[in-house]
Amino acid sequence: MRGVLLAALLLAASAASATAQAGGSNSSSTKPFVPRDDILLDCGATGQGNDTDGRVWNGDTGSKYLPPNLASAAATSQNPSVPQVPYLTARASASPFTYSFPLGAGRKFLRLHFCPANYTNRDAADALFSVSVAVPGGGKVTLLSNFSAYQTATAFNLDYLVREFSVNVSSPTLDLTFTPEKGRPNAYAFVNGIEVVSSPDLFDISNPNLVTGDGNNQPFQIDPNTAMQTMYRLNVGGQAISASKDTGGYRSWEDDSLYIFGAGFGVTYPNDKDITITYRDNLPEYVAPVDVYSTARSMGPDQHVNMNSNLTWMMPVDAGFMYLVRMHFCEIQDPITKINQRVFSIYLNNQTAQKDADVIAWATAVAGASTGSGSPVFQDYVVNTFGSGTWDLWVSLHPYADPKPQYYDAILNGMEVFKLQLANGSLAGLNPIPTVEPSDDNGASKKKSAVGPIVGGVVGGLVLLALGYCFIVICRRKRTAGKDAGMSDGHSGWLPLSLYGNSHTSSSAKSHTTGSYASSLPSNLCRHFSFAEIKAATNNFDESLILGILDQIVDPYLKGKIAPQCFKKFAETAEKCVSDQGIDRPSMGDVLWNLEFALQMQESAEESGSIGCGMSDEGTPLMMPGKKDPNDPSIESSTTTTTTTSISMGDQSVASMDSDGLTPSAVFSQIMNPKGR
């Protein structure tokens, strides 16, 4: 008896230990969500098939969900990248047809799968139809109207489409009707796959605020029967999450990086090892999977940059609708565990949705939460859009400085955007406008276009050969004439040299390369001027012929107010922008980067109180007061403008690199951000 009791105690202890170890990454006091209704219908197919995520789809041939005698269709050709299940077959008809699903009451996810292709002598461009679901009382909710899967896929360069809706079912069946457009010749409706999955109470636990624009947001009540369309579901700071790894109705989560606006990507990071994602009773695990809350995107560690920029997402939506924006938060960095350590503002469409967002404060307000770190929370906001067509939905985060938080930063873990139905029961938007590509008029024009380039190429080649021969003859004659005149001791061919582009001046820069040089070209390709030529050209160095140097041509208002290094960097940038050859001109990203670098040098000089502008008698930039001679070997900083540049300014160190791969950072990102000053 004792042996049995001891064995039972050991087994219980082992089970408890295993449970504790399993909760190392996350724990939850709620049971995982199991959908009551889970229908995956492969339209036009027979038997079963697995999709790329391992989910099992059932063919609708002979099923109880669709009327008899509805023809199936197979794509005549298909892109190899398109999954065969459920996109290889479809149900297509020029007459309306209805699927009827016996379901239990409650909210359901309804996902429609479309792959625009030519189905059984039907052209993909002719598929134009509406989709609706019946509601009690004889009404309906229009999900899609005048919908063209071909036009939509072409506009967004997609091979197939998935449209997800959330509808509340209060009747015994869900009737889903596809209706071809009557005014379009040869119009037909089709569908490749249908998902009907029970949804957890994702919106019953919501208390959204309506963003009014005047700072006085109002509570917004969502009708339980409101139908919605999922526009975006983003895992912010992390990778995409497949439907099989979701915790609430097989939802798919996208990577958010495609929707970040401008160059301000911020930084991404996972949760610290000593922080466990812990769900609370009033925030079940099915709200969002742990993978959403265990990664985040923040603005970055530089508070000066953060205060002058925003972390912004831009997502195109259909205008004229209201949208529910759900934002998921969880502090997953060990230093941030207290209130007022990180406080930020949330803007939707340039309107203040939340002035003082504090994730720790929200988390500690949850009943039973002993600490705010590792505790997921979400906030819901409703924003209105106006007009028709496409509307860009802006979501921006910016540090809130009034409470003087410890970190001037912002954070986001996940985001969902839902379109709310109109009062007339419509969720349908307009088809996007695809890019118009030029087309040939007829076969003759194609032949002409093929022959034309060939003839032109041959003629052009002969002309270039003739011009090249003439150029060589002229150059030889000039070379002979130059030697006879005795004006040069070298080759007469010469190239213009950039004033700053490749110069290393020993009086203003200390680089790994010693000495001075103006060009990387071989010496025999450069024009060498004798001292007599220079003296004659300058009229014995007459100062009246000087076009000007920086300290003399500068605006008198700026004298004494601009740091010499800042002014020199600005002049270098301007000089490069007007180069004769386009290949020598910097990209817009490099221009913004150089201007920001100049601004940083100016601000550093202002902070250190060492402002001055001028040039020495030799034409070199004056050093800041209190700075050492640049020729002093003890100085390791460099102000060279080629390759890598680093300048020590006060207590700061700034690095620069001339490269097309660089992007402008936060100071000049105000140009792209709607909340910039």
Q: Predicted confidence band at 540 (pLDDT cuts at 50, 70, 90)?
A: confident
Angle at 492 between CA 488 and CA 495, to 5 degrees: 125
Angle at 174 between CA 169 and CA 178, to 5 degrees: 130
The C-alpha atoms of residue 639 and residue 628 are separated, in whole angstroms, by 13
Dmax over CA atoms of the chain, in Å, equals 122
> Around Cβ 576, how many Cβ atoms within 10 Å?
20
The C-alpha atoms of residue 71 and residue 66 are separated, in whole angstroms, by 11
Residue 78 lies in a domain: yes
The CATH number of whichever domain residue 335 belongs to comes to 2.60.120.430
Per-residue confidence (pLDDT) for residue 83, from 0 to 100: 95
The predicted-structure confidence for 141-168, as pLDDT tens digits, reads as follows: 999 999 999 999 999 999 999 999 999 9
**Cβ pair 296, 269 in contact under 8 A:** yes
Residues 339 and 379 in one domain: yes
Q: How many residues does the chain have?
A: 677
**Cβ pair 127, 192 in contact under 8 A:** no
**Cβ pair 86, 113 in contact under 8 A:** yes
In this prediction the pTM is: 0.64
Helices and strands of the chain, counted as H and E runs: 11, 31
Residues 320 and 336 in one domain: yes
Per-residue confidence (pLDDT) for residue 471, from 0 to 100: 62
Residues 134 and 266 in one domain: no
The C-alpha atoms of residue 575 and residue 563 are separated, in whole angstroms, by 18
Residues 216 and 166 in one domain: no
Number of folded domains that form the chain: 3
Asked whether the predicted pLDDT for residue 21 surpasses 80, the reply is no
Residues 262 and 402 in one domain: yes
Residue 491 lies in a domain: no
Mean pLDDT of 220-247: 96
Residues 228 and 372 in one domain: yes
Per-residue confidence (pLDDT) for residue 3, from 0 to 100: 47
Residues 260 and 357 in one domain: yes
If one compares 218 and 505, the residue with the highest pLDDT of the two is 218
Tell me the residue range of the domain where 536 lies: 523-671
Mean pLDDT of 86-96: 96
Residues 334 and 253 in one domain: yes
**Cβ pair 412, 315 in contact under 8 A:** no
Residues 115 and 150 in one domain: yes
Asked whether the predicted pLDDT for residue 9 surpasses 50, the reply is no
Final residue belonging to a domain, choices 199, 229, 254: 199
The C-alpha atoms of residue 497 and residue 518 are separated, in whole angstroms, by 7
Q: Predicted confidence band at 476 (pLDDT cuts at 50, 70, 90)?
A: low
The predicted-structure confidence for 593-626, as pLDDT tens digits, reads as follows: 889 888 888 888 887 776 754 443 333 333 333 3
Residues 149 and 283 in one domain: no
- Contacts of 317 by beta carbon, 8 Å cutoff, 6+ apart: 231, 323, 385, 390, 391, 392, 393, 417, 419
Residue 244 lies in a domain: yes
Final residue belonging to a domain, choices 430, 459, 479: 430
The C-alpha atoms of residue 38 and residue 250 are separated, in whole angstroms, by 10
Residues 114 and 258 in one domain: no
Question: Residue 223 is encoded by which pair of tokens?
Answer: 């009708």
Residue 558 lies in a domain: yes
The predicted-structure confidence for 37-62, as pLDDT tens digits, reads as follows: 999 999 999 999 999 999 999 999 99
Residue 19 lies in a domain: no
Final residue belonging to a domain, choices 148, 174, 199: 199
Residue 226 lies in a domain: yes
Residues 311 and 407 in one domain: yes
